[in-house]
Amino acid sequence: MTDMPLSPAASVPDRKPASLLEQDARTKARNAAEKRFRLYGVAAIAISMIALVVLLATILTGGAGAFRQTYLNIPVALDAAVLDPKGNRDPAEIAKVLTLSYGKVLDAAVEATVARHGIQIEGLSEKDIDNLISKEASAQVRNRVLANPDLIGQTVEFDVLTGGRIDGFFKGRVTMDSAARDSNTSPQQLQLAQELADRGEIVTRFNWNFLTNADASDQRPEAAGVGVAILGSFYMMLVVLVLAVPIGVAASIYLEEFAPKNRITDIIEVNISNLAAVPSIVFGILGLAAFINFAGLPQSAPIVGGLVLTLMTLPRIIIPTRAALKAVPPSIRDAALGVGASKMQSVFHHVLPLATPGILTGMILGLAQALGETAPLLLIGMVAFIRDYPAGLPSGLFDPASALPVQVYNWTQRSDPAFIERASGAIIVLLIFLLCMNVLAIWLRRKFERRW
C-alpha cells in the first residue's frame, strides 16, 4: 500500500501553479502573520523600554529639585537684650533661650532687609514677609549662636533656608496661580521673593544638607534630609554582611559539597527555594513576632532590620553561591584529593577560592536587593519619625534609625507636596547606591570570571 498516493491529496482543489516570483494568497497571509508576530515582539520590548525610561525620567526630574535649595542671605542683628537677657554670655544661660526668641530676631531681620531694598508690593502682609524664611531658620541661627556665643550683639550675615513654598517657587513647583489658592503663601509673597532674587539676596544652590540632615517635621520640608536614613541603611547592610554572608556561604558549601543525598537535604533545598519566594512582608511579621515581641529587641533599631533582612537575603545568597561552587569543575577537586588533601582541604583551599568571584557577585546583588527592601521594615517600626542620628557602632545598632526606602515611604505619607520632591530625591540617592553595587558586581564578574 505504500505506493498508493496519499488519499487526501486528491481532495485538495487544484491550485494554479503559481509563479515563483509571485506569492500566492496563503503564503502572503503566512508572511503577514509572521510580520505581525515579530511586531508584537518589538512592541513588547518597546513598551518595557518606554516604561523604564518614563519611570527613571519622572523620578530623576522629580527628585533633582531636592538637591538644590533656596537660601535667603540676610544680615541678622543678634540683639543681646533678647538672646542673652542676663548679659553674662554664659553658654548655659544662652541655651535657655528658645527658638521662639530667635524667630522674632529673624523676623525683624527679614523685615529690615525688605525695607532696605525699598520693595513695595501692594497687599503684602507682615505674615507674608515673616514666612519668607523657613521655620527651621531660627534653629539654624540658634545652633550657630550656641556654638559661638561671642556673636551675640553683632550683626552677622546668615544664609537661612527659605520656606518650602518659596523654595518650590524657584523650582517651578509653586506658581502664582497655585499660590492664590494656597493658604500658606500668596502671590504677593512670591512677588517679594522674586524681587529679592532679582537683587541677589535669594540664591538657589547645591544642597549638601539634603545628604546630611535628619528628617524634619511636616511643616518644614525644606530642612528634611536623608542623613539618618543613609546611616541606618548602612548599619543594616553591615549586619546583613556580617551575618548573611558567612552563614550563606557555609550553608552553600555544606549543601553543595558535603551533604549526602537524603530526605533531610532534600527538605532543606526545597525550603530554601521556597523561602526565596516568600513575600517580604511575611519576613516583617516574623521580625515583629520573633525579634521585637519575643526577644524584646527595641523597635526601629537597625539590628532588628538587619536581622530581618539577613533572613530574607540568606536564600538569595545561597542560590548564586551554590551555582558558583557548582561551576568549579570536578577535576580541581579530584586533583586536590589525588595529591592527598582531605575533602575539607580540597574545598577550602581550592574550590572556594576559585568560586570567590561568583560568590562575591551573588553577595553584592543580594545586598543590593536587601538595601531596596521596604515592606518588612515598616512592620518593625522603622517608619517612625526620627530626628537624631544613631550613636556610633556597636551601640548605634540598638538606637532608633530610619532607612532609605522607608524614608521615601514616610515622605509620601506627608501632606505637603514638597515632600514628594524629597522622596524622589531620596530615591535618586538609593538608586545611585544600587547602581554602584551593580556596577561593582558586573565588574567583578567581568574581571575574575573564568570559563572552564
Partner 1 sequence: MPLSWALFASFLLAAAGYIVGRSRAFASAGPDVRKLHSRPTYHGYSVALTALLPALAVMAAGSILRLSGVLTVEAMPVAGVVALIAAIAGLGLGVMRIGQEYQARNVVERMVLGLLMLCSLIAIVTTAGIVLSLVFETGHFFQLYDWKTFFFGTEWTPRFQGNSQLGIVPLLWGTLYVSAIALLVAVPIGLFAAVYMSEYASRRVRGFVKPAIEVLAGIPTIVYGLFALITVGPLLRDYFAQLLGLGNSGTSVLTAGLVMGIMLIPFVSSLSDDIINAVPQSLRDGALGLGSTPSETVRQVVLPAALPGIVGAVLLAASRAIGETMIVVLGAGASAQMSLNPLEAMTTITVKIVSQLTGDSDFNSPETLVAFALGLTLFVITLALNVVALYIVRKYREQYE
Residues from 398 through 437 that contact partner 1 (CB under 8 A) = 405, 408-409, 412, 420, 423-424, 427, 430-431, 434
Q: Do 186 and 180 form a contact (C-beta atoms < 8 A)?
A: yes
Q: What is the dihedral of CA 123, 129, 134, 138, to 10 degrees?
A: -150
Residue 255 near residue 297 (C-beta atoms within 8 A): no
Q: Which is nearer to partner 1, 33 or 176 (CB)?
A: 33
Residue linked to cell 515581641: 293
Binding to partner 1, residues 156-195 (CB under 8 A): none
Q: Which is nearer to partner 1, 130 or 269 (CB)?
A: 269
Q: Which of 154, 155, 217, 273: binder of partner 1 (CB under 8 A)?
A: 273
Residues 328-357 interacting with partner 1 (rule: CB under 8 A): 342-344
Q: Which is nearer to partner 1, 287 or 390 (CB)?
A: 287
Q: Of 42-50, 70-78, 98-106, 116-124, which segment contacts partner 1 by CB under 8 A?
A: 42-50
Smallest distance from partner 1 to CB 127, Å: 30
Find the shortest distance in angstroms from Cβ 183 to partner 1. Answer: 21
Based on the shown chain and the rule CB under 8 A, indicate whether residue 1 belongs to the binding site for partner 1. Answer: no
CA distances (Å), origin 122, targets 102, 113, 153, 198: 28, 17, 34, 18
User: Using the rule CB under 8 A, is 139 a contact of partner 1?
Assistant: no
Q: Minimal distance in Å, beta carbon 425 to partner 1? A: 11
Cite the beta strand spans of 117-260 per DSSP E.
Answer: 155-161, 202-206
Q: Taking the complex as a whole, how short is the minimal distance between the CB of residue 237 and partner 1, in angstroms? A: 14
Nearer to partner 1, 34 or 388 (CB): 34
Q: Tell me which DSSP letter residue 395 carries.
A: G
| Cα 156–Cα 160–Cα 164 angle in degrees, nearest 5 | 165
As measured in angstroms, the least distance from the Cβ of 227 to partner 1 is 19
Q: Do strands 155-161 and 202-206 pair parallel, antiparallel, or not at all (unpaired)? A: unpaired
Q: Is residue 281 a contact point for partner 1 (CB under 8 A)?
A: yes
In the set 158, 283, 351, 429, which binds partner 1 (CB under 8 A)?
283
* Residue recorded with cell 488519499: 7
Centroid of chain to Cα 422: 11
CB of 128 to partner 1, least distance (A): 29
Sequence-distant (6+) residues with CB within 8 A of 444 are 357, 360, 361, 364
By CB under 8 A, name the one of 54, 95, 98, 242 that touches partner 1. Answer: 54
Locate all alpha helices (DSSP H) within 289-351, ordered by sequence: 302-327, 330-338, 343-346
Non-local CB neighbours of 261 within 8 Å, separated by 6+ positions: none
Among 80, 295, 432, 439, binds partner 1 (CB under 8 A): 295
449 grid coordinates: 570570571
- Do residues 326 and 347 touch, judged by C-beta distance below 8 A? no
User: Torsion over CA of 49, 406, 178 and 217, rounded to 10 degrees?
Assistant: -160
* Residues 191-250, interacting with partner 1 (CB under 8 A): 246-248, 250
Size of the site for partner 1 (CB under 8 A): 87
Q: Report how far apart, in Å, the C-alpha atoms of 404 and of each of 4, 310, 343, 423 are.
A: 77, 17, 44, 9
| Distance (Å, whole) CA 332 – CA 353 | 11
Interaction between residue 317 and partner 1 (CB under 8 A): no
Site string for partner 1, 245-264 (x = CB under 8 A): -xxx-xx-xxx--xx-----
Interface residue with partner 1 among 43, 115, 146, 393 (CB under 8 A) is 43
Please report, as residue ranges, which positions from 16 to 35 form the binding site for partner 1 (by CB under 8 A).
Answer: 30-31, 33-34
Report if residue 293 touches partner 1, rule: CB under 8 A.
yes
Pick the binder of partner 1 from 356, 372, 396, 445 (CB under 8 A): 372
Closest to partner 1 by CB, 363 vs 430, is: 430
The reply to whether 288 sits near partner 1 by the rule CB under 8 A is yes
Kind plus residue range of the DSSP H or E element containing 74: strand 68-77
**Least distance (Å) between residue 231 CB and partner 1:** 18
Taking CB under 8 A as the rule, which mask of x and - marks residues 58-97 in contact with partner 1? xx--x-----------------------------------
Could you tell me the strand order of the sheet in which 155-161 lies?
155-161, 68-77, 202-206
Least Å distance, CB 171 to partner 1, is 15
Q: What is the distance of C-alpha 36 from the center of its chain?
A: 41
385 near partner 1 (CB under 8 A): no
CA 350 – CA 344 distance, rounded (Å): 10
